[in-house]
């Protein structure tokens, strides 16, 4: 088992958190999210992202609006709801907390 | 030469090689399968089609109008397999505390006990019970009628209680939950307990108020201050006993007629309804008709009356016992119908037992 595989489930679990972080910065199109993630360890494909976005929308974390595009049909632009923003703040705190724990533990 | 197939992706027309078309169709079908339980399936599929369409667009130009098979392969590889969000969620580290409350949305909803108004006869209690336990609704209804009979009507109270305690499945989600995945009994018990506590508190409060009232003003029966029945009910109380007795005699007459001849007065039981079922229906009907009379009787008995506390109970008992004794004596000596009835009774019980046994053992 390679090193990346050891953290595979952690990366997967962090995806929602990262999407919140990306979407809060500005309104984005699904392809933008993939683009932002593409050259990181969290590179993701449509097959994973779309179901996750729809789940987050059902949970009331984000919402979208249709916007016309020059190239082709209108696109869905995502943005955070108030709930999404407060969730992001909580997750951010928790992530920092986790980080401190990991750093402090042992050596 | 390759055959070209035209497809419509979320409203845009594209031309694909035939083999490319097969790959793409296979991909979208697998997506549909992976998302069968997802409430937003249609929306996700159309998003995916849109994304595929945009990827196709990249491969097309002024001099290229067909997406080749290898390009479709590449597109499908870029899209990646469909992962249900619930999976990502279950293995994810994000749903530890803050995210925990959202988890139920992603996992299939737990099965819950709802009243189901679809195809309900009264309020959907039996219907809800049936889908909750996954049994036929007719069985549940028969069970309820039996319980009502055995408990002399208390089963009806249970039903009425459930009508108020058990929520009705209104949304589609709730209806799905009414027949969904296994669920924990603790929730129902907790809910019932809560309702009971509230009810008990309410009655305790009422009772204390009533006691305070009595202490302050004293108990003055008949003056209309307390909970007691108005004086006229005491006067006509024996009348209730007569009505009760008359009803009972009517029931007995109908029962004998039903068992002996298969008719109730002039009305004949349908061919496909067995005699024992007729008897059960008759008994339930009797319980329902008689319950208000019985309630009035109990009410009067509890009355700390003016001097003669047990007057009404006494008369009731006298009338009742005399009536019963007369019926049994006359019947067993002079009326052949009653002798016939007694002779047929064991057969009826046996038929009933057989029917119940079949109901339980019959493969469904």
Contacts A–B by Cβ distance under 8 A: 108
Least confident of A41-45, A83-87, B132-136: B132-136
Task: Give the pLDDT of residue B230.
Answer: 59
Chain B residue with the nearest C-alpha to that of A89: B98
Section B215-239 average pLDDT: 57
DSSP sequence for B61-127: BTTB-EE-HHHHHHHHHHH-----HHHHHHH-STTTTGGGGGHHHHSPPBP---B--TT-SSSSHHH
- Could you give the percent of chain A with pLDDT greater than 90? 35
Q: Which residues of A touch B84 (CB under 8 A)?
A: 51
Contact A13 B92 (CB under 8 A): yes
Most confident range (mean pLDDT) of B26-30, B35-39, B103-107, B301-305 is B26-30
Q: In whole numbers, what is the pLDDT of chain B averaged over residues?
A: 71
Dump pLDDT digits (tens) for B134-184.
777 777 888 877 777 766 666 677 777 777 777 777 665 566 666 544 345
Contact A54 B51 (CB under 8 A): no
Chain B residue with the nearest C-alpha to that of A31: B51
- The pTM assigned to this predicted structure is 0.41
Supply the DSSP symbol for A43. Answer: -
Which has more confidence, B215 or B173? Answer: B215
Dump pLDDT digits (tens) for A52-85.
999 999 889 998 888 887 767 788 899 999 999 9
Q: How many CB atoms lie within 10 A of CB A15?
A: 20
Q: Which residues of B touch A48 (CB under 8 A)?
A: 80, 82-83, 88
CA angle in degrees (0–180, nearest 5) for B66-B69-B73: 125
Contact A94 B96 (CB under 8 A): yes
Q: Burial letters for B12-41: b for 16+ Cβ neighbours within 10 Å, e otherwise?
A: bebebbebbbebbeebbeebbebbeebebb
CA angle in degrees (0–180, nearest 5) for B310-B217-B301: 15
pLDDT band at A32 (very low <50, low <70, confident <90, very high): confident
CA angle in degrees (0–180, nearest 5) for A75-A76-A78: 145
Measured over the CA atoms of residue A15, residue A20, residue A21 and residue A23, the dihedral's sign is positive
Q: Above 80 in pLDDT, residue B48?
A: yes
Strand partners, B267: B264
Interface with B, mutate which of A46, A53, A58, A93 (most B CBs under 10 A) = A46
Q: Which residues contact B264 (CB under 8 A, 6 or more apart)?
A: B254, B257, B258, B278, B282
Our CA-based measurement puts residue B200 at a distance from the nearest CA of chain A, in whole angstroms, of 38
Q: Which residues contact B53 (CB under 8 A, 6 or more apart)?
A: A72, B9, B10, B12, B14
- Could you give the percent of chain B with pLDDT greater than 70? 66
Most confident range (mean pLDDT) of A1-10, A84-93, B7-16, B179-188 is A84-93
Contact B44 A12 (CB under 8 A): no
Supply the DSSP symbol for B180. Answer: S
Q: Above 80 in pLDDT, residue B204?
A: no
The tokens 């789940």 sit on which residue? A55
Q: Above 90 in pLDDT, residue B306?
A: no
Q: Say if CB B51 and CB B31 are below 8 A apart.
A: no
Cβ of residue B67 closer than 8 Å to a chain A Cβ: no
Task: Give the pLDDT of residue B349.
Answer: 79
Q: Report the SS3 class of residue B2.
A: coil
Helix (H) or strand (E) holding B267: strand B267-268
Q: Above 70 in pLDDT, residue B239?
A: yes
Residue B184 exposed, middle or buried by CB count within 10 Å (0-12, 13-18, 19+)? exposed
Task: Give the pLDDT of residue B222.
Answer: 44
Cβ of residue B76 closer than 8 Å to a chain A Cβ: no
pLDDT band at A97 (very low <50, low <70, confident <90, very high): very high
Q: Above 90 in pLDDT, residue B198?
A: no
Helix (H) or strand (E) holding A78: strand A75-80
Q: Which residues of B touch A76 (CB under 8 A)?
A: 47
Our CA-based measurement puts residue A80 at a distance from the nearest CA of chain B, in whole angstroms, of 15
Q: What are phi and psi of B344, to 5 degrees?
A: -85, -20
Interface with B, mutate which of A38, A44, A50 (most B CBs under 10 A) = A50
Cβ of residue B171 closer than 8 Å to a chain A Cβ: no
Residues B247 and B101: their CA atoms lie apart, in Å, by 58
Residues A83 and B73: their CA atoms lie apart, in Å, by 39
Q: Which residues of A touch B35 (CB under 8 A)?
A: 51
Q: Report the SS3 class of residue A74.
A: coil
pLDDT band at B190 (very low <50, low <70, confident <90, very high): low
Q: Which residues of A touch B12 (CB under 8 A)?
A: 72-73
Interface with A, mutate which of B50, B60, B87 (most A CBs under 10 A) = B50
């Amino acid at each position: 088992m390679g090193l990346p595989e050891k953290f595979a489930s952690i990366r997967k679990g962090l995806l929602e958190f990262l999407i919140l972080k990306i979407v809060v910065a500005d309104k984005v199109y699904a392809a933008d999210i993939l683009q932002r993630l593409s050259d990181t360890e969290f590179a993701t494909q449509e097959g994973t992202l779309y179901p996750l976005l729809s789940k987050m929308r059902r949970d009331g974390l984000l919402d979208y609006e249709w916007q016309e595009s020059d190239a082709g049909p209108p696109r869905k632009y995502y943005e955070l709801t108030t709930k999404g923003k407060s969730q992001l703040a909580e997750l951010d705190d928790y992530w920092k907390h986790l980080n401190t724990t990991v750093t402090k533990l042992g050596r | 030469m390759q055959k070209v197939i035209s497809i419509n992706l979320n409203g845009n027309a594209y031309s694909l090689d035939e083999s490319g078309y097969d790959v793409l169709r296979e991909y979208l079908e697998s997506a549909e399968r992976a998302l069968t339980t997802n409430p937003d399936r249609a929306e996700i599929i159309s998003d995916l089609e849109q994304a595929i369409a945009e990827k196709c667009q990249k491969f097309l130009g002024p001099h290229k109008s067909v997406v080749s098979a290898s390009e479709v392969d590449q597109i499908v590889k870029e899209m990646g397999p469909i992962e249900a969000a619930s999976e990502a969620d279950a293995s994810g580290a994000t749903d530890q505390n803050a995210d925990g409350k959202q988890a139920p949305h992603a996992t299939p909803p737990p099965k819950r006990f709802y009243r189901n108004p679809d195809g309900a006869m009264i309020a959907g209690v039996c219907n809800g019970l049936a889908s909750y336990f996954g049994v036929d609704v007719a069985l549940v209804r028969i069970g309820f009628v039996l319980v009502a009979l055995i408990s002399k009507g208390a089963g009806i109270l249970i039903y009425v209680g459930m009508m108020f305690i058990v929520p009705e499945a209104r949304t589609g989600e709730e209806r799905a939950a009414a027949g969904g995945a296994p669920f924990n009994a603790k929730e129902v018990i907790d809910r019932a307990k809560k309702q009971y506590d509230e009810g008990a508190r309410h009655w305790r409060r009422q009772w204390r108020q009533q006691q305070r009232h009595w202490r302050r003003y004293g108990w003055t029966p008949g003056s209309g201050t307390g909970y007691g029945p108005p004086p006229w009910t005491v006067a006509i109380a024996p009348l209730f006993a007569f009505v009760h007795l008359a009803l009972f005699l009517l029931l007995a007459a109908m029962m004998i007629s039903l068992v002996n001849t298969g008719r109730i007065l002039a009305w004949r039981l349908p061919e496909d309804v067995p005699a024992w079922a007729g008897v059960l229906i008759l008994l339930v009907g009797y319980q329902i008709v008689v319950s208000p009379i019985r309630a009035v009787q109990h009410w009067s008995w509890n009355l700390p009356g003016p001097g003669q506390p047990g007057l009404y109970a006494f008369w009731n008992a006298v009338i009742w016992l005399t009536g019963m004794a007369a019926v049994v004596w006359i019947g067993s000596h002079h009326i052949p119908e009653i002798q016939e009835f007694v002779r047929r009774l064991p057969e009826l019980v046996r038929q009933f037992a057989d029917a119940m046994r079949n109901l339980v053992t019959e493969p469904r």
